[in-house]
A and B are shown apart, each in its own frame.
Chain A
Protein backbone atom coordinates (compact mmCIF):
# COMPACT_ATOMS: atom_id res chain seq x y z
CA UNK A 1 0.00 0.00 0.00
CA UNK A 2 1.29 3.44 -0.86
CA UNK A 3 2.50 5.71 1.91
CA UNK A 4 -0.12 8.30 1.06
CA UNK A 5 -2.82 5.65 1.50
CA UNK A 6 -1.44 4.63 4.86
CA UNK A 7 -1.79 8.13 6.25
CA UNK A 8 -5.32 8.64 5.01
CA UNK A 9 -6.54 9.23 8.54
CA UNK A 10 -10.25 9.33 7.76
CA UNK A 11 -9.94 5.93 6.13
CA UNK A 12 -7.99 4.58 9.11
CA UNK A 13 -10.65 5.86 11.48
CA UNK A 14 -13.31 4.18 9.35
CA UNK A 15 -11.32 0.94 9.28
CA UNK A 16 -10.93 1.00 13.06
CA UNK A 17 -14.71 1.28 13.45
CA UNK A 18 -15.34 -1.44 10.86
CA UNK A 19 -12.87 -3.82 12.51
CA UNK A 20 -14.52 -3.24 15.88
CA UNK A 21 -17.87 -4.44 14.47
CA UNK A 22 -16.43 -7.26 12.36
CA UNK A 23 -17.47 -9.84 14.98
CA UNK A 24 -21.18 -9.85 14.04
CA UNK A 25 -22.28 -9.27 17.63
CA UNK A 26 -24.08 -6.08 16.65
CA UNK A 27 -26.13 -8.02 14.07
CA UNK A 28 -26.96 -10.74 16.59
CA UNK A 29 -28.11 -8.29 19.26
CA UNK A 30 -30.02 -5.91 16.98
CA UNK A 31 -31.50 -8.84 15.09
CA UNK A 32 -32.38 -10.55 18.35
CA UNK A 33 -34.11 -7.40 19.52
CA UNK A 34 -36.10 -7.08 16.29
CA UNK A 35 -37.03 -10.76 16.51
CA UNK A 36 -38.14 -10.24 20.10
CA UNK A 37 -40.18 -7.15 19.11
CA UNK A 38 -41.74 -9.09 16.28
CA UNK A 39 -42.76 -11.98 18.55
CA UNK A 40 -43.85 -9.94 21.54
CA UNK A 41 -46.77 -8.40 19.61
CA UNK A 42 -48.38 -11.83 19.52
CA UNK A 43 -48.50 -11.98 23.31
CA UNK A 44 -51.44 -10.56 25.30
CA UNK A 45 -51.44 -6.78 25.73
CA UNK A 46 -50.44 -6.84 29.41
CA UNK A 47 -47.20 -8.70 28.63
CA UNK A 48 -46.06 -6.26 25.98
CA UNK A 49 -44.49 -3.93 28.49
CA UNK A 50 -41.67 -6.45 28.94
CA UNK A 51 -40.38 -5.03 25.67
CA UNK A 52 -38.51 -2.48 27.76
CA UNK A 53 -36.56 -5.17 29.62
CA UNK A 54 -34.39 -6.58 26.83
CA UNK A 55 -33.21 -3.07 25.92
CA UNK A 56 -31.32 -2.72 29.18
CA UNK A 57 -30.43 -6.41 29.33
CA UNK A 58 -29.26 -6.34 25.69
CA UNK A 59 -26.82 -3.48 26.30
CA UNK A 60 -25.43 -5.32 29.32
CA UNK A 61 -25.07 -8.62 27.46
CA UNK A 62 -23.56 -6.91 24.41
CA UNK A 63 -20.91 -5.33 26.61
CA UNK A 64 -20.12 -8.69 28.23
CA UNK A 65 -19.99 -10.44 24.86
CA UNK A 66 -17.56 -7.81 23.55
CA UNK A 67 -15.30 -8.39 26.55
CA UNK A 68 -15.41 -12.17 26.26
CA UNK A 69 -15.33 -12.59 22.46
CA UNK A 70 -13.90 -9.51 20.74
CA UNK A 71 -11.25 -8.01 23.00
CA UNK A 72 -9.30 -11.26 23.62
CA UNK A 73 -9.13 -11.83 19.85
CA UNK A 74 -9.06 -8.46 18.11
CA UNK A 75 -7.68 -6.43 20.98
CA UNK A 76 -9.02 -3.42 22.80
CA UNK A 77 -9.46 0.01 21.24
CA UNK A 78 -10.74 3.18 22.81
CA UNK A 79 -12.14 5.63 20.30
CA UNK A 80 -11.67 9.37 20.74
CA UNK A 81 -14.27 11.17 22.83
CA UNK A 82 -15.18 13.33 19.81
CA UNK A 83 -15.83 10.26 17.68
CA UNK A 84 -17.86 8.50 20.39
CA UNK A 85 -19.86 11.68 21.01
CA UNK A 86 -20.49 12.13 17.28
CA UNK A 87 -21.68 8.54 16.81
CA UNK A 88 -23.87 8.72 19.93
CA UNK A 89 -25.38 12.09 18.95
CA UNK A 90 -26.16 11.00 15.39
CA UNK A 91 -27.58 7.66 16.55
CA UNK A 92 -29.87 9.35 19.08
CA UNK A 93 -31.11 11.79 16.43
CA UNK A 94 -31.80 8.94 13.97
CA UNK A 95 -33.62 6.81 16.56
CA UNK A 96 -35.61 9.80 17.88
CA UNK A 97 -36.71 10.85 14.40
CA UNK A 98 -37.46 7.23 13.47
CA UNK A 99 -39.64 6.71 16.56
CA UNK A 100 -41.45 9.96 15.90
CA UNK A 101 -42.12 9.07 12.28
CA UNK A 102 -43.13 5.49 13.18
CA UNK A 103 -45.57 6.66 15.85
CA UNK A 104 -46.98 9.27 13.48
CA UNK A 105 -47.47 6.50 10.94
CA UNK A 106 -49.16 4.22 13.48
CA UNK A 107 -51.51 6.99 14.62
CA UNK A 108 -52.82 7.33 11.11
CA UNK A 109 -54.30 3.84 11.62
CA UNK A 110 -56.22 4.70 14.73
CA UNK A 111 -59.18 5.85 12.72
CA UNK A 112 -58.99 8.11 9.74
CA UNK A 113 -61.46 10.99 9.70
CA UNK A 114 -63.52 11.43 6.58
CA UNK A 115 -61.92 14.73 5.67
CA UNK A 116 -58.35 13.63 6.43
CA UNK A 117 -55.54 15.14 4.44
CA UNK A 118 -54.08 13.26 1.49
CA UNK A 119 -50.96 12.50 3.52
CA UNK A 120 -52.90 10.77 6.30
CA UNK A 121 -54.89 8.80 3.74
CA UNK A 122 -51.69 7.89 1.91
CA UNK A 123 -49.97 6.73 5.10
CA UNK A 124 -53.05 4.77 6.06
CA UNK A 125 -53.21 3.08 2.71
CA UNK A 126 -49.51 2.21 2.49
CA UNK A 127 -48.69 1.96 6.18
CA UNK A 128 -46.73 -1.27 6.06
CA UNK A 129 -44.61 0.03 3.20
CA UNK A 130 -44.13 3.25 5.11
CA UNK A 131 -42.92 1.40 8.24
CA UNK A 132 -40.56 -0.66 6.09
CA UNK A 133 -39.23 2.53 4.57
CA UNK A 134 -38.59 3.99 8.01
CA UNK A 135 -36.70 0.88 9.14
CA UNK A 136 -34.72 0.91 5.89
CA UNK A 137 -33.84 4.54 6.47
CA UNK A 138 -32.70 3.79 10.03
CA UNK A 139 -30.32 1.10 8.75
CA UNK A 140 -29.11 3.41 6.01
CA UNK A 141 -28.35 6.25 8.40
CA UNK A 142 -26.77 3.99 11.02
CA UNK A 143 -24.65 2.37 8.34
CA UNK A 144 -23.32 5.76 7.39
CA UNK A 145 -22.80 6.94 10.96
CA UNK A 146 -21.05 3.77 12.08
CA UNK A 147 -19.25 3.08 8.78
CA UNK A 148 -20.73 -0.44 8.59
CA UNK A 149 -21.59 -1.21 4.99
CA UNK A 150 -23.63 -4.35 5.72
CA UNK A 151 -26.27 -2.16 7.39
CA UNK A 152 -27.04 -0.92 3.86
CA UNK A 153 -27.89 -4.52 2.97
CA UNK A 154 -30.24 -4.72 5.93
CA UNK A 155 -31.83 -1.55 4.63
CA UNK A 156 -32.63 -3.25 1.32
CA UNK A 157 -33.77 -6.44 3.11
CA UNK A 158 -36.14 -4.38 5.29
CA UNK A 159 -37.72 -2.78 2.24
CA UNK A 160 -38.11 -6.15 0.52
CA UNK A 161 -39.57 -7.94 3.55
CA UNK A 162 -42.04 -5.17 4.37
CA UNK A 163 -43.05 -4.91 0.70
CA UNK A 164 -43.65 -8.66 0.65
CA UNK A 165 -45.67 -8.23 3.85
CA UNK A 166 -47.75 -5.54 2.19
CA UNK A 167 -48.64 -7.82 -0.70
CA UNK A 168 -49.00 -11.12 1.14
CA UNK A 169 -50.44 -10.41 4.58
CA UNK A 170 -54.19 -10.87 4.98
CA UNK A 171 -55.08 -7.26 5.55
CA UNK A 172 -52.15 -5.03 4.74
CA UNK A 173 -54.29 -1.90 4.78
CA UNK A 174 -55.47 -2.28 8.35
CA UNK A 175 -52.11 -2.36 9.97
CA UNK A 176 -52.31 -4.20 13.22
CA UNK A 177 -49.29 -4.72 15.41
CA UNK A 178 -49.37 -8.35 14.33
CA UNK A 179 -48.88 -7.29 10.75
CA UNK A 180 -45.84 -5.27 11.80
CA UNK A 181 -44.57 -8.12 13.94
CA UNK A 182 -44.16 -10.66 11.15
CA UNK A 183 -41.75 -8.62 8.96
CA UNK A 184 -39.86 -7.45 12.06
CA UNK A 185 -39.39 -11.06 13.21
CA UNK A 186 -38.25 -12.15 9.73
CA UNK A 187 -35.69 -9.33 9.45
CA UNK A 188 -34.51 -10.08 13.00
CA UNK A 189 -34.06 -13.73 12.15
CA UNK A 190 -32.05 -12.87 9.02
CA UNK A 191 -29.82 -10.52 11.02
CA UNK A 192 -29.21 -13.10 13.75
CA UNK A 193 -28.29 -15.66 11.08
CA UNK A 194 -25.86 -13.31 9.33
CA UNK A 195 -24.44 -12.23 12.67
CA UNK A 196 -23.87 -15.83 13.77
CA UNK A 197 -22.11 -16.60 10.50
CA UNK A 198 -19.89 -13.51 10.89
CA UNK A 199 -19.11 -14.45 14.47
CA UNK A 200 -18.06 -17.94 13.40
CA UNK A 201 -15.77 -16.45 10.74
CA UNK A 202 -14.38 -13.91 13.21
CA UNK A 203 -13.53 -16.63 15.74
CA UNK A 204 -11.85 -18.65 12.98
CA UNK A 205 -9.86 -15.66 11.73
CA UNK A 206 -8.60 -14.35 15.08
CA UNK A 207 -7.31 -16.89 17.55
CA UNK A 208 -7.77 -16.10 21.20
CA UNK A 209 -4.78 -14.44 22.87
CA UNK A 210 -2.89 -16.98 24.96
Chain B
Protein backbone atom coordinates (compact mmCIF):
# COMPACT_ATOMS: atom_id res chain seq x y z
CA UNK B 1 0.00 0.00 0.00
CA UNK B 2 1.35 3.42 -0.88
CA UNK B 3 1.85 6.19 1.69
CA UNK B 4 -0.72 9.02 1.85
CA UNK B 5 -0.14 11.52 -0.94
CA UNK B 6 1.35 14.94 -0.23
CA UNK B 7 -0.71 16.49 -3.00
CA UNK B 8 -2.26 19.69 -1.49
CA UNK B 9 -5.29 19.36 -3.80
CA UNK B 10 -6.34 16.12 -2.10
CA UNK B 11 -8.31 16.27 1.16
CA UNK B 12 -6.21 15.63 4.28
CA UNK B 13 -7.05 12.02 5.11
CA UNK B 14 -4.68 12.01 8.05
CA UNK B 15 -6.77 14.63 9.80
CA UNK B 16 -9.70 12.27 10.16
CA UNK B 17 -10.27 11.34 13.78
CA UNK B 18 -9.57 7.61 13.91
CA UNK B 19 -11.18 7.23 17.29
CA UNK B 20 -14.54 8.33 15.88
CA UNK B 21 -13.99 6.71 12.49
CA UNK B 22 -14.35 3.19 13.90
CA UNK B 23 -17.95 2.15 12.90
CA UNK B 24 -19.17 1.14 16.37
CA UNK B 25 -17.85 4.31 17.99
CA UNK B 26 -19.21 6.39 15.11
CA UNK B 27 -22.64 4.89 15.78
CA UNK B 28 -22.41 5.63 19.48
CA UNK B 29 -21.30 9.22 18.82
CA UNK B 30 -24.03 9.79 16.22
CA UNK B 31 -26.74 8.44 18.51
CA UNK B 32 -25.57 10.60 21.37
CA UNK B 33 -25.24 13.63 19.07
CA UNK B 34 -28.98 13.76 18.28
CA UNK B 35 -30.13 13.46 21.89
CA UNK B 36 -29.12 15.12 25.12
CA UNK B 37 -28.30 11.87 26.85
CA UNK B 38 -29.16 8.20 26.93
CA UNK B 39 -28.52 5.22 29.12
CA UNK B 40 -26.45 2.14 28.36
CA UNK B 41 -29.46 -0.06 27.58
CA UNK B 42 -30.89 2.41 25.07
CA UNK B 43 -27.57 2.57 23.21
CA UNK B 44 -27.28 -1.21 23.23
CA UNK B 45 -30.74 -1.50 21.65
CA UNK B 46 -30.19 1.26 19.11
CA UNK B 47 -26.70 0.31 18.00
CA UNK B 48 -27.09 -3.47 18.20
CA UNK B 49 -23.77 -3.76 20.03
CA UNK B 50 -23.24 -6.34 22.73
CA UNK B 51 -22.73 -5.39 26.36
CA UNK B 52 -18.98 -6.03 26.22
CA UNK B 53 -18.49 -4.27 22.91
CA UNK B 54 -20.40 -1.17 23.93
CA UNK B 55 -18.65 -1.13 27.27
CA UNK B 56 -15.16 -1.17 25.74
CA UNK B 57 -15.99 1.49 23.14
CA UNK B 58 -17.62 3.58 25.83
CA UNK B 59 -14.38 3.45 27.85
CA UNK B 60 -12.31 4.54 24.84
CA UNK B 61 -14.60 7.48 24.16
CA UNK B 62 -14.65 8.43 27.84
CA UNK B 63 -10.84 8.32 28.02
CA UNK B 64 -10.70 10.64 25.01
CA UNK B 65 -13.05 13.04 26.81
CA UNK B 66 -15.71 12.72 24.12
CA UNK B 67 -18.42 11.32 26.35
CA UNK B 68 -19.36 11.72 29.98
CA UNK B 69 -20.46 8.64 31.89
CA UNK B 70 -22.61 8.99 34.96
CA UNK B 71 -23.43 6.01 37.14
CA UNK B 72 -26.60 6.45 39.13
CA UNK B 73 -29.37 4.39 40.68
CA UNK B 74 -32.91 4.34 39.29
CA UNK B 75 -35.42 2.56 41.53
CA UNK B 76 -32.51 1.06 43.49
CA UNK B 77 -31.00 -0.40 40.31
CA UNK B 78 -27.70 0.72 38.79
CA UNK B 79 -28.05 2.87 35.69
CA UNK B 80 -25.28 4.14 33.43
CA UNK B 81 -26.07 7.35 31.58
CA UNK B 82 -23.99 8.74 28.76
CA UNK B 83 -23.84 12.12 27.10
CA UNK B 84 -21.54 13.83 24.63
CA UNK B 85 -19.20 16.40 26.12
CA UNK B 86 -18.58 19.73 24.40
CA UNK B 87 -15.26 18.33 23.16
CA UNK B 88 -17.09 15.27 21.82
CA UNK B 89 -19.66 17.37 20.03
CA UNK B 90 -16.92 19.51 18.50
CA UNK B 91 -14.89 16.45 17.48
CA UNK B 92 -17.95 14.86 15.88
CA UNK B 93 -18.72 18.04 13.94
CA UNK B 94 -15.12 18.22 12.74
CA UNK B 95 -15.26 14.57 11.75
CA UNK B 96 -18.40 15.16 9.70
CA UNK B 97 -16.83 18.18 8.01
CA UNK B 98 -13.67 16.30 7.12
CA UNK B 99 -15.65 13.35 5.79
CA UNK B 100 -17.79 15.65 3.67
CA UNK B 101 -14.61 17.33 2.40
CA UNK B 102 -13.14 13.97 1.54
CA UNK B 103 -16.06 12.95 -0.66
CA UNK B 104 -16.97 16.40 -2.01
From A16, A80, A83, contact of B46 by CB (8 A):
A16
Q: How many residues of A contact B (CB 8 A)?
A: 24
B33 pairs with A78, CB closer than 8 A: no
Total A-B pairs in contact (CB under 8 Å)?
A: 69
The chain A residue with its CB closest to the CB of B27 is A6
CB proximity of A176 to chain B, nearest CB, Å: 47
Q: Does B15 contact A (CB under 8 A)?
A: no
The residues of B that contact A49 with a CB separation of less than 8 Å are none
A-B pairs, 10 with minimum CB distance: A75-B42, A75-B41, A13-B34, A76-B39, A77-B38, A78-B36, A78-B37, A12-B34, A80-B36, A75-B39
Question: What is the minimal beta-carbon distance from B13 to any residue of chain A, in angstroms?
Answer: 15
Q: Chain A: residues with CB nearer than 8 A to chain B?
A: 3, 6-7, 9, 12-13, 15-16, 19, 67, 71-81, 83, 206, 209
CB of B79 closer than 8 Å to a CB of A: yes
B42 touches A77 (CB 8 A): yes
Main secondary structure of the interface of B (DSSP, over half): helix
A-B contact pairs, 13 of them (CB 8 A): A3-B23, A6-B26, A9-B30, A16-B31, A16-B35, A67-B75, A71-B74, A75-B40, A75-B44, A75-B46, A78-B38, A79-B36, A83-B35
Instruction: Name, among B30, B36, B77, the residue most crowded by chain A CB atoms within 10 Å (CB to CB).
Output: B36
Q: Is B67 on the interface with A (CB-CB < 8 A)?
A: no
Number of interface residues of B (CB under 8 A): 26
Point out the residues of chain A lying under 8 angstroms from B81, CB to CB.
Answer: 76
Q: What distance in Å separates the Cβ of B40 from its nearest Cβ neighbour in chain A?
A: 7
In the complex, are the beta carbons of B33 and A9 less than 8 A apart? yes
CB–CB B34/A80 < 8 A: yes
**CB-CB nearest in chain B for A7:** B30
Question: Is the Cβ of A12 less than 8 Å from the Cβ of B37?
Answer: no
Give the docked Cα–Cα distance between A15 and B47 (Å). 12
Instruction: Specify which of B23, B35, B44 is in contact with A77 (CB 8 Å cutoff).
Output: B35
Residues of B within 8 A of A78 (CB): 35-38
Please name all residues of chain A whose beta carbon is closer than 8 Å to the beta carbon of B61 when the two chains form the complex.
none
CA–CA, A9 and B26, complex, Å: 12
* Residues 1-55 (chain B) with a chain A CB within 8 angstroms: 23, 26-27, 30-31, 33-46
A27 → B minimal CB distance (Å): 20
Question: B57: which A residues are within 8 A, CB to CB?
Answer: none
Q: Please, how many angstroms separate the alpha-carbon atoms of A6 and B30 in the complex?
A: 8
Residues of A with C-beta under 8 A to B38: 75-78
A170 to chain B, nearest CB (A): 51
